């Protein structure tokens, strides 16, 4: 009741609030009208500004496009002009023709020694002392390029050859005659333009954006280039250097921008490309312009916005109207910006605002008076309704009696009566939930917990300690009123899940050692509106613990089975009922291989159907063959034979910790191959013991240790067999008298020592027998030589007389021949003198011919100079026609007719130049032919001079031949005297022959007997000594004139002479004539044995 009384005396009653509300709404509405009017006016003005800015930006961008398009057009025309192509070729060729370093020479000539200051060096066209080809080319082309650059406003024009050398520049700055490759070229915009132009095709262009260029006094510069293509091949690059002056003229126009407005061209680096009229300092490439409008313009967007920027002369930013538009040239993006201060544009809006505020104050006063009257009529019934609702809440009435009103208050009374009935129903439902055993929690639409039944409170009390491990501040007595999100580590996840909840959903939550299943369902009213959520909790901790234990056991069993499946040991497992329940893959594979052998013992055995079969069948086989070998731990081992196979079995019982029997595990091992190898080894060892080394163990079908064992035993047998075979062959050779046999194979240990001893025995015997054979051979050879020498001396004595007579006759003929040679030499000498005189006359004629050819060459050169003048005239005409074409192109439609005339003139000039070029080529070819003729006449004179010298040499040689003939005559006389002495010595030789013959025959007989005894043995020295016997026997019946047995004839080797000449070369210029050697001097076999024969020579 006291609360009701406080409400009755409160200021905030409807009787006061309604009038106040009406007054405030009226004032607010008037304010909105004023604001709306101001906004509309401002928007209208802004729309006008935007339109004007858009038009201004579009016009300036169009002007920029026209300027850059004109640059591209100029570059296209000049690059394709024949004059430019000729200039490129001429400058490149002149660069190559320069002596020394071209770059240093040109910089010195056109920069350092240029009399004009920096910025005016283009005025130097030609220096009188310049005699280089470059100076002539520069004089021809520089005036046109200089005039073109000045008229069109280009900062510079460059010609660059394919090697990257700047062979021409109009303004001759420090980049002239520089190299655009290597060094810091990657940071040089001119070099970047050159490198990009080389990759272009004919007619394509590349553009490099403005940057600070060191060579141009650190001014901003851009470059545009195009390759110069001649006959389909790139010969160089034409590059224009652009300055910012033309851009400033286009952009810096002040019309329509007021005092604070400006236009800016911004590059991708956010730096201005023009000079701002609002700044006194230099802004080109130094003023940074940022903002979203720059980014949008660079991305190709056009628009207008209002943004804060810093105005010139200020430090604080202010609002500006900004229009932006994109501009692109040769794939280089720019942002064109137009900006003006908002205050300057909207300065007139202040007066309009003051007038509207005064009007608004009067309207608000009238509306407040009306609002108070209306408010009283509305608040009176509401006060009555408030009193009835208070009675309903106190229980003094069961219904609100104002529900019969036809207005909103009647509808409110009806709603209050329904709310009262629903509250009674809710009380009944709450009582039922309090007594339920299911754990229930209810949250409202804001996810705050508003209800928990007794079952969930008891569950939380039991699990409180576990829940606090995840939620340290959890208190079961302080849950109501808390957010239901408190149970999640990520509250936002819980909030999203409940907000999207349309049907019942389940989730699982773990807190501490406990796990809960939660079922969440939405609570909605009859109209489907979301009122909150109900959550059912279920503690799963005990059930999950039992399930986890079962899963762990299953995983352990799976690991054991996997290990057995991958084991190479053959494993079989039987259960407690005696049935086979498991066979691993290794055992399956073994049973498949041995299936036929097992069936000889177990006819019904099937390797593919082992599981489920009784394991006792294999146990019965064990019992039938031999007893188990049982170890102390109960493991049973046995060996069984099935068919041709033998197996080792190991059987063990499977028991748990309580000694419960779960069956048996059997390990199988097929030892058939092992036993077979053991038997083969035994057979080989028995054969070796009996001296039979031919037996070996077969390697077929063996693997691993068995293969290694078989290979080792075979290697042992082979080694022993080889040693005994070698020793047997050595002894057999000794028995046959062959002392050359040696054991050559390598062995180790005792075998090696045995080999060395055997070989040393053979070597010692061979040495002794060899010495004996050598001595016998020497004796035999000596006796044969003595006997042969005696026979030979006898034959010489008989033939000596006839030889001397023949020699005398030959000497007489030789004297006659020598006299004839002297007469012929004298005649040849006279003929040589005559030939020399004729050759000297021919030389004089050649000198006169050389003079005549030189005169022809000088005349041809003068004709060539005249043709050069004609070519120069055609070239200048072509330059004038090109200049006229450029001016006609600039004039547009008005200059088309003049352009046609200029084109025809240029065509005629080109044809004249080409004709002059053809004539010049013909004259040059004629000059070359004349020079060739002069050279040939000179060569003829040199050849005649060589002929004269050769004839002189022939005369000298003929004189020498005559002198030699006279000396030969004197030699013939001396030979006749020698023949007389030889006749006397022949008589002495006859006496010596008889004495030596008798001694030689006796010695020869004794040596033959010794050789027959020692010939039983075979040694290497026997080859040399054995040759003497057949040779001696063959020489017994030779004629007396043969001396080849005593001293073999030396044969002339022609191939040896070729090799000798190849190494030493010809000693003189005359060709050497090879003559065969008919007979050589015969040396005796032993000079000290018969010194008398050493004085004999055979002719």
The topology under which CATH files domain 436-548 is Beta-Lactamase (3.30.450)
Closest listed residue to residue 968, CA positions, set 819, 782, 860: 819
DSSP state letter for 1049: P
Choose the most confident range, by mean pLDDT, from 66-80, 304-318, 444-458. 66-80
| pLDDT, tens digit, 9 for 90 and up, residues 763-772 | 888 788 777 7
- The pLDDT tens digits of the residues spanning 727-762 come to 887 888 777 777 777 887 787 888 788 878 888 887
Q: Is the C-alpha dihedral spanning 89, 91, 93, 96 positive or negative?
A: negative
Q: What is the mean pLDDT of residues 1026-1048?
A: 41
- The C-alpha angle 126, 130, 131, rounded to 5 degrees, equals 125
- Going by the DSSP 8-state scheme, the letter that residue 636 receives in this structure is E
Q: Which of 262-271, 600-609, 621-630, 1059-1068 has the lowest mean pLDDT?
A: 1059-1068
- β-pairing verdict for 636-642 and 645-655: antiparallel
8-state DSSP, 165: B
Give the per-residue pLDDT at 170.
95
CA dihedral sign, ordered 623, 629, 632, 635: negative
% of the chain with per-residue pLDDT over 70: 77
**Range with lowest mean pLDDT among 645-659, 705-719, 759-773, 841-855:** 841-855
In 3D space, the residue among 944, 952, 948 whose CA is nearest the CA of residue 850 turns out to be 944
Helix (H) or strand (E) holding 506: strand 505-511
**814-1014 architecture in CATH?**
Orthogonal Bundle (1.10)
Taking the C-alpha atoms of 815, 816, 822 and 824 in order, what is their torsion angle to the nearest 10 degrees?
-150
Average pLDDT of the residues of the chain? 77
Which residue is associated with the tokens 């026979």?
Answer: 791
Backbone angles phi, psi at 320, to 5 degrees: -135, 145
Q: What per-residue confidence (pLDDT) applies to 346?
A: 73
> What do you get for the CA distance between the two ends of the chain, in Å?
177
pLDDT tens for 588-601 read: 888 888 888 888 88
Place of tokens 């009755």: 8
Q: Which residue has the higher pLDDT, 1078 or 311?
A: 311
Residues in contact with 1011: Cβ distance below 8 Å, sequence separation at least 6, in sequence order: 776, 777, 780, 1029
Reference 763, options 752, 775, 755, 751; nearest CA is 755
What is the tens place of the pLDDT at every residue in 204-219?
A: 999 999 999 998 888 9
Quick one: which of 108, 115, 157, 116 has its CA closest to 134? 108
Which structure tokens are listed for 305? 């916005």
Instruction: Tell me the pairing of strands 233-242 and 219-230.
Output: antiparallel
Per the structure block, which two tokens stand in for 1033? 């026997």
User: Which residues have C-beta within 8 Å of that of residue 592, sequence separation ≥ 6?
Assistant: 607, 608
Task: Please tell me the predicted confidence (pLDDT) of residue 801.
Answer: 63
Q: How far apart are CA 34 and CA 41, in angstroms?
A: 11
Burial of residue 587 (CB within 10 Å: 0-12, 13-18, 19+) is buried
Where does the pLDDT of residue 313 fall: very low under 50, low under 70, confident under 90, or very high at 90 and above? low
pLDDT at 266 over 90: yes
- Looking at residue 277, what is its pLDDT? 83
Domain ranges across the chain: 81-243, 436-548, 567-670, 814-1014, 1037-1095
Confidence of residue 631 (pLDDT cuts 50, 70, 90): low
Average pLDDT, integer, range 138-150: 94
* Position 641 pLDDT exceeds 80: yes
Query: 228, 234 in Cβ contact below 8 A?
Result: yes
Cα gap 902→773, rounded to integer Å: 115
Cα–Cα distance measured from residue 221 to residue 184, given in angstroms and rounded to the nearest whole number: 18
Give backbone dihedrals phi and psi of 644, rounded to 5 degrees, phi first. Answer: -95, 10
Question: What letters, b where the CB count within 10 A reaches 16 and e where it falls short, cover 331-349?
Answer: ebbbbbbbbbbbebbbeee
Inter-axis angle of helices 672-689 and 704-735, to 10 degrees? 10
Q: How many Å apart are CA 959 and CA 957, to the nearest integer?
A: 5
User: How many CA atoms, within 13 angstroms, populate the side-chain half-sphere of residue 714?
Assistant: 12
Cα(958)–Cα(980) distance, integer angstroms: 35
Q: Calculate mean pLDDT across residues 505-521.
A: 85
Instruction: Average the pLDDT over each of 429-433, 796-800, 1050-1054 and give the range with the smallest value.
Output: 1050-1054
> CB–CB of 604/620 below 8 Å?
no
Residue predicted with more confidence, 577 or 289: 289
> Token pair of 618, please?
């294999």
Topology of domain 81-243 in CATH is Beta-Lactamase (3.30.450)
* Structural element, H or E, at residue 334: strand 332-341
Tens-digit pLDDT profile for residues 410-441? 777 777 777 767 766 777 777 888 888 889 99
Sign of the torsion formed by the C-alpha atoms of 771, 774, 776 and 779: negative
Return the pLDDT at 140. Answer: 92
Q: Quick: pLDDT tens for 686-702.
A: 777 777 777 777 777 66
> Three-state DSSP class for 390?
helix
Angle between helices 349-394 and 14-80 (to 10 degrees): 140
**Cα angle: 836, vertex 947, 823; to 5 degrees:** 55
CA gap 872, 879 in Å, rounded: 11
What is the pLDDT averaged over residues 592-612?
Answer: 84
567-670: CATH number: 3.30.450.20
Phi, psi of 104 (to 5 degrees): -65, -40
Higher pLDDT, 737 or 58: 58
CB 1063 within 8 A of CB 819: no
Separation of alpha carbons 565 and 560, rounded Å: 9
pLDDT tens string 245-260 = 998 888 877 777 778 8
Is 60 exceeded by the pLDDT of residue 1032? no
Q: What is the mean pLDDT of residues 1002-1019?
A: 72
Higher pLDDT, 55 or 405: 55
Predicted confidence (pLDDT) per residue in 177-206, tens digit: 999 987 777 889 999 999 999 999 999 999
Going by pLDDT thresholds of 50, 70 and 90, the confidence category of residue 242 is very high
More confident residue, 491 or 534: 534
* pLDDT value, residue 137: 93
Residue position matching structure tokens 């084109």: 903
Instruction: Enter the DSSP assignment of 614.
Output: B
Contact by Cβ (8 Å): 805, 1015: no
Band (pLDDT 50/70/90 cuts) for residue 143 is very high
Q: What is the mean pLDDT of residues 35-48?
A: 80
Q: Is residue 1087 pLDDT above 50, yes or no?
A: no
Q: What is the pLDDT of residue 1046?
A: 36
What span, in angstroms and rounded, lies between the C-alpha atoms of 728 and 747?
16
DSSP state of 778: H
Q: 771, 731, 586: which is closest to 666 by C-alpha?
A: 586
pLDDT at 683: 79
**How many CA atoms are closer than 13 Å to the CA of 822, on its beta-carbon side?**
14
CB atoms within 10 A of CB 681: 15
- Cβ neighbors of 269 (< 8 A, separation 6 or more) are none
H-assigned helices in 438-581 = 454-462, 464-470, 491-499, 541-566
pLDDT at 120 over 80: yes
Position 1069 pLDDT exceeds 50? no
129 confidence band (pLDDT: 50, 70, 90): confident
Which range is most confident: 170-179, 303-312, 1085-1094? Answer: 170-179
Helix and strand numbers, DSSP H then E, in the chain: 24, 20
Report whether pLDDT(602) > 90: no
Task: Give the residue from 824, 806, 802, 803 showing the smallest Cα distance to 814.
Answer: 806
In this structure, what token pair is assigned to residue 692?
Answer: 């039979």
Beta bridge partners of 309: 318
Do residues 650 and 634 lie in contact, with contact meaning Cβ atoms separated by under 8 Å? Answer: no
Tell me how long the chain is.
1099
φ, ψ of residue 424 in degrees (nearest 5): -65, -45
For residue range 81-117, what is the model confidence (pLDDT) as tens digits? 999 999 999 999 999 999 889 999 999 999 998 999 9
Q: What tens digit of pLDDT does each residue of 859-884 get?
A: 766 676 677 677 777 777 777 777 77
Per-residue model confidence (pLDDT) at position 532? 86
Which DSSP string do the residues of 420-463 spell out, in sequence order?
HHHHHHHHHHHHHHHT-SSEEEEEETT-BEEEE-HHHHHHHHHT
| Strand (E) or helix (H) holding 219 | strand 219-230
Whether residue 1069 contacts residue 953, with contact meaning beta carbons closer than 8 Å, is answered with no
- Give the helix/strand (H/E) hosting 326: strand 317-329
Segment 516-538 shows an average pLDDT of 84
> What is d(CA 249, CA 37) in angstroms, rounded to the nearest whole number?
41
Say if 436-548 and 567-670 have the same CATH topology.
Answer: yes
Task: Find all residues with CB under 8 Å of 242, minimum gap 6, and list them.
Answer: 71, 154, 155, 210, 221, 222, 223, 224
Confidence at residue 915, expressed as pLDDT on a 0 to 100 scale: 77
Tens digits of residue pLDDT in 937-991: 777 777 777 777 777 777 778 777 767 766 776 776 677 677 767 766 766 666 6
d(CA 1015, CA 1037): 25
| pLDDT at position 554 | 78
Distance (Å, whole) CA 208 – CA 186: 12
């Amino acid at each position: 009741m006291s609360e009701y009384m406080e409400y009755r005396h409160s200021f905030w009653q409807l009787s006061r609030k309604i009038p106040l509300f009406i007054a405030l709404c009226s004032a607010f509405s008037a304010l909105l009208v004023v604001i709306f009017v101001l906004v509309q006016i401002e928007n209208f003005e802004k729309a006008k500004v935007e339109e004007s800015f858009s038009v201004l930006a579009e016009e300036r961008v169009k002007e920029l496009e026209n300027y850059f398009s004109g640059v591209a057009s100029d570059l296209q025309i000049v690059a394709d002009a024949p004059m430019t192509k000729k200039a490129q070729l001429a400058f490149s060729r002149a660069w190559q023709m320069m002596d020394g370093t071209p770059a240093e020479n040109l910089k010195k000539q056109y920069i350092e020694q240029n009399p004009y200051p920096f910025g005016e060096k283009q005025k130097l066209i030609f220096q009188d002392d310049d005699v280089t080809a470059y100076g002539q080319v520069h004089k021809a082309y520089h005036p046109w390029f200089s005039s073109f650059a000045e008229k069109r406003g280009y900062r510079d024009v460059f010609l660059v050859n394919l090697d990257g050398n700047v062979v021409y520049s109009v303004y001759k700055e420090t980049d002239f005659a520089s190299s655009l490759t290597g060094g810091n070229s990657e940071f040089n915009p001119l070099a970047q333009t050159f490198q990009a132009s080389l990759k272009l095709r004919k007619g394509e262009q590349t553009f490099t954006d403005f940057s600070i260029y060191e060579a141009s006094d650190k001014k901003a510069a851009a470059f545009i280039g195009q390759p110069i293509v001649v006959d389909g091949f790139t010969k160089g690059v034409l590059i224009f250097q652009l300055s910012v002056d033309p851009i400033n003229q286009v952009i810096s126009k002040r019309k329509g921008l007021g005092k604070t407005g400006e236009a800016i061209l911004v590059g991708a680096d956010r730096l201005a490309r023009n000079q701002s009229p609002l700044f006194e300092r230099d802004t080109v490439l130094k003023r940074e312009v940022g903002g979203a409008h720059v980014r949008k313009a660079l991305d190709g967007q056009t628009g207008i916005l209002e943004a804060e920027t810093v105005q010139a002369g200020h430090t604080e930013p202010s609002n500006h109207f900004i229009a932006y538009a994109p501009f692109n040239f040769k794939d280089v993006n720019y942002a064109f910006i137009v900006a003006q201060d908002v205050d300057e544009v909207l300065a007139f809006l202040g007066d309009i605002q003051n007038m509207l505020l005064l009007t608004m104050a009067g309207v608000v006063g009238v509306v407040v008076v009306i609002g108070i009257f209306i408010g009283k009529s509305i608040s009176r019934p509401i006060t009555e309704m408030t009193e009835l609702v208070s009675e309903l809440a106190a229980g003094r009435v069961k219904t609100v009696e104002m529900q019969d009103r036809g207005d909103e208050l009647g509808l409110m009374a009806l709603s209050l009566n329904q709310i009262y009935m629903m509250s009674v129903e809710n009380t009944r439902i709450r009582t039922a939930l309090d007594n339920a055993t299911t754990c229930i929690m209810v949250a409202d639409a804001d996810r705050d917990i508003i209800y928990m039944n007794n079952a969930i409170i008891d569950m939380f009390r039991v699990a409180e300690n576990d829940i606090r491990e995840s939620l340290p501040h959890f208190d079961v007595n302080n849950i109501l009123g808390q957010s239901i999100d408190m149970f999640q580590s990520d509250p936002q996840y819980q909030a999203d899940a409940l907000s999207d909840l349309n049907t019942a959903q389940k989730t699982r939550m773990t807190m501490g050692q406990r796990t809960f299943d939660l079922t969440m369902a939405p609570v909605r009213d009859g109209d489907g509106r979301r009122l909150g959520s109900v959550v059912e909790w279920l503690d799963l901790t005990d059930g999950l613990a039992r399930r986890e234990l079962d899963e762990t056991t299953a995983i352990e069993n799976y690991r054991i089975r996997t290990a057995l499946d991958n084991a190479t040991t053959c494993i079989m497992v039987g259960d407690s009922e005696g049935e086979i329940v498991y066979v691993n893959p290794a055992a399956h594979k073994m049973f498949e291989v041995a299936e036929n052998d097992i069936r000889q013992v177990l006819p019904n055995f099937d390797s593919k159907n082992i599981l489920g079969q009784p394991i006792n069948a294999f146990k019965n086989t064990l019992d039938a063959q031999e007893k188990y070998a049982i170890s102390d731990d109960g493991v049973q081992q046995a060996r069984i034979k099935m068919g041709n196979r033998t197996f080792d079995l190991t059987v063990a019982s499977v028991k748990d910790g309580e000694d419960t029997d779960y069956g048996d595990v059997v390990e199988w091992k097929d030892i058939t191959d092992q036993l077979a190898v053991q038997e083969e080894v035994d057979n080989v060892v028995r054969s070796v013991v009996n001296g039979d080394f031919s037996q070996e163990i077969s390697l077929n079908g063996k693997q691993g240790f068995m293969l290694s064992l078989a290979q080792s035993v075979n290697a042992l047998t082979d080694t022993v067999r080889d040693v005994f075979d070698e020793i047997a062959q050595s002894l057999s050779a000794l028995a046959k008298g062959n002392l050359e046999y040696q054991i050559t194979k390598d062995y180790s240990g005792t075998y090696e020592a045995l080999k060395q001893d055997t070989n040393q025995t053979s070597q010692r015997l061979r040495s002794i027998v060899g010495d004996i054979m050598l001595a016998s051979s020497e004796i035999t050879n000596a006796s044969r030589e003595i006997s042969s020498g005696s026979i030979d001396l006898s034959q010489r004595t008989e033939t000596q007389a006839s030889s001397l007579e023949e020699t005398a006759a030959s000497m007489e003929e030789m004297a006659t021949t020598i006299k004839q040679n002297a007469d012929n030499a004298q005649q040849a000498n006279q003929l040589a003198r005559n030939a020399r005189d004729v050759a000297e006359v021919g030389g004089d004629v050649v000198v006169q011919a050389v003079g005549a050819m030189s005169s022809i060459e000088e005349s041809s050169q003068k004709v060539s100079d005249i043709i050069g003048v004609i070519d120069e005239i055609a070239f200048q005409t072509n330059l004038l026609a090109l200049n006229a074409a450029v001016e006609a192109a600039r004039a547009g439609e008005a200059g088309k007719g003049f352009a046609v005339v200029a084109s025809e003139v240029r065509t005629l000039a080109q044809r004249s130049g080409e004709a002059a070029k053809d004539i010049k080529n013909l004259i040059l070819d004629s000059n070359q032919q004349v020079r060739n003729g002069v050279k040939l006449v000179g060569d003829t004179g040199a050849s005649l001079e060589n002929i004269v010298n050769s004839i002189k040499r022939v005369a000298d040689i003929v004189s020498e031949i005559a002198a030699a003939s006279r000396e030969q005559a004197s030699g013939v006389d001396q030979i006749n005297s020698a023949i007389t002495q030889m006749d006397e010595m022949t008589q002495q030789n006859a006496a010596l022959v008889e004495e030596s013959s008798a001694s030689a025959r006796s010695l020869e007989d004794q040596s033959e007997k010794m050789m027959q005894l020692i010939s039983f043995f075979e040694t290497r020295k026997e080859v040399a000594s054995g040759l003497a016997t057949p040779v001696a026997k063959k020489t017994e019946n030779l004629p007396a004139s043969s001396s080849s047995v005593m001293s073999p004839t030396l044969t002339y080797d022609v191939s040896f002479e070729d090799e000798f000449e190849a190494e030493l070369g010809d000693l003189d210029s005359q060709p050497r004539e090879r003559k065969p050697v008919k007979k050589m001097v015969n040396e005796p076999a032993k000079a000290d044995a018969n010194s008398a024969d050493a004085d004999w020579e055979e002719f």
